[in-house]
Structures are given as structure tokens and as C-alpha cells.
């Protein structure tokens, strides 16, 4: 949608959209536009996922239980969904996920300091769906299961590092 737009064009469009609005909207838009200058962008992960799968092709195991996950600090989005944790994809010859920890970092969440332990735990929880998706394991209803769906840090915080019984049973069937 904004492909080919420069930062200046995007900023101008945002400011124009706030014209004629209330004072708070104009102020908030101005603050947002000012912060855009030094902010990292987001990457359309759908463009990178096929290349990742292609590059790993020659190195793939013949064991279908082997999972491939690329981890990146880059902030990713897909379609209309911003700030994704991961995206899974398949081709005839390969399958895998790209997992981003950009939105798990203190700089994105407003937390006062970056905790390596907290970031590692968040990554561990989100590595589960990025991995198990390729095995065809059904998603659990239990919100504490690390394989359950998360749509933000609040949901991610509800997860534990322990798989629910249905997820464990599904994995046992793959052995």
C-alpha cells in the first residue's frame, strides 16, 4: 500500500490527515511524525519467507520433524497485521517460520530496562508456535500453553513454559 513512499511523503500525508481535527489529534499526530525520523521500520515478512525457505533447502534434513525458524530483531508485519511475533510458510520443498523479537524488547514496550532473562523467556515461549506449526500440531485452547495463540505482550505474559496435556499428547503421536 505504501510501497515506494518516502518518509517525507508519509509524514506529510499523516499531517494532512490531521488538518482540521481537534487540537489533541493535531498535537498527537505531530509528536508521532517527529518520532518517525529515527524509528526503525517494519518489514513485509511475506517477501522474505520464501527466500529463507529456498536458502535452507540444500541443508534440510529428511526428517519431517526437523523445524526451521529464522530469528531476527527486525520488526515484521504481514498483510494488514503489524508487529507480528512470527509467520509460518510452506513451499513444495520446505516449511519454516521467521520469528521477530522486536516487539518483545524493552525499547518497544516502554519497560524501564532491558532484561535478558525476560527477553529470553519471551523468545522461548514464541519459539514454540514458530516451531510446532510445521508439525501440524493443533493449537491448544489452554491460554497458559506456550503453543497457544498470542496477539501481544499481555497474551504472551499469560503463557508458561509448560505444554498443556493435549499438546504433549499430539507431540507424543509424532514420535
Give the chain's count of helices (H) and strands (E). 7, 6
- Sequence-ordered strand ranges (E) for the chain: 42-44, 69-72, 75-78, 81-84, 86-90, 95-100
Please say whether the beta carbons of 69 and 88 come within 8 A: no
pLDDT of residue 104: 92
pLDDT of residue 62: 85
Prediction pTM value: 0.76
pLDDT of residue 151: 86
Place of cell 535478558: 116
Q: Cα(163)–Cα(121) distance, rounded to whole angstroms?
A: 14
Please give the domain boundaries of the chain with CATH numbers for all domains. 7-36 (no CATH), 42-173 (3.40.390.10)
pLDDT of residue 1: 46
Within a 10 A sphere around the Cβ of 116, how many other Cβ atoms? 7
pLDDT of residue 2: 55
pLDDT of residue 80: 86
pLDDT of residue 107: 83
pLDDT of residue 140: 95
Determine the 3-state secondary structure of 167 from DSSP: helix
pLDDT tens profile 22-71: 999 999 999 888 887 777 778 899 999 999 999 998 888 888 888 899 99
Residues of the chain where predicted confidence (pLDDT) is lower than 50: 1
Amino acid at each position: 500500500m505504501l510501497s515506494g513512499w518516502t518518509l517525507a511523503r508519509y509524514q506529510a500525508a499523516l499531517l494532512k490527515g490531521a488538518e482540521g481535527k481537534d487540537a489533541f489529534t493535531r498535537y498527537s499526530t505531530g509528536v508521532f511524525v517527529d518520532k518517525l525520523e529515527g524509528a526503525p521500520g517494519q518489514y513485509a515478512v511475506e517477501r522474505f519467507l520464501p527466500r529463507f525457505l529456498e536458502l535452507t533447502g540444500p541443508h534440510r534434513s529428511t526428517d519431517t520433524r526437523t523445524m526451521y525458524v529464522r530469528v531476527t530483531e527486525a520488526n515484521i508485519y504481514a498483510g494488514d497485521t503489524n508487529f507480528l511475533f512470527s509467520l509460518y510458510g510452506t513451499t513444495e520443498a520446505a516449511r519454516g517460520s521467521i520469528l521477530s523479537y522486536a516487539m518483545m524488547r524493552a525499547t518497544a514496550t516502554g519497560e524501564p530496562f532491558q532484561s535478558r532473562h525476560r527477553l529470553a523467556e519471551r523468545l522461548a515461549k514464541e519459539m514454540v508456535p514458530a516451531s510446532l506449526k510445521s508439525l501440524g500440531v493443533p493449537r491448544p485452547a489452554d491460554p497458559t500453553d506456550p503453543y497457544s495463540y498470542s496477539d501481544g505482550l499481555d497474551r504472551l505474559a499469560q503463557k508458561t513454559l509448560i505444554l498443556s496435556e493435549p499438546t504433549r499428547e499430539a507431540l507424543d503421536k509424532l514420535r
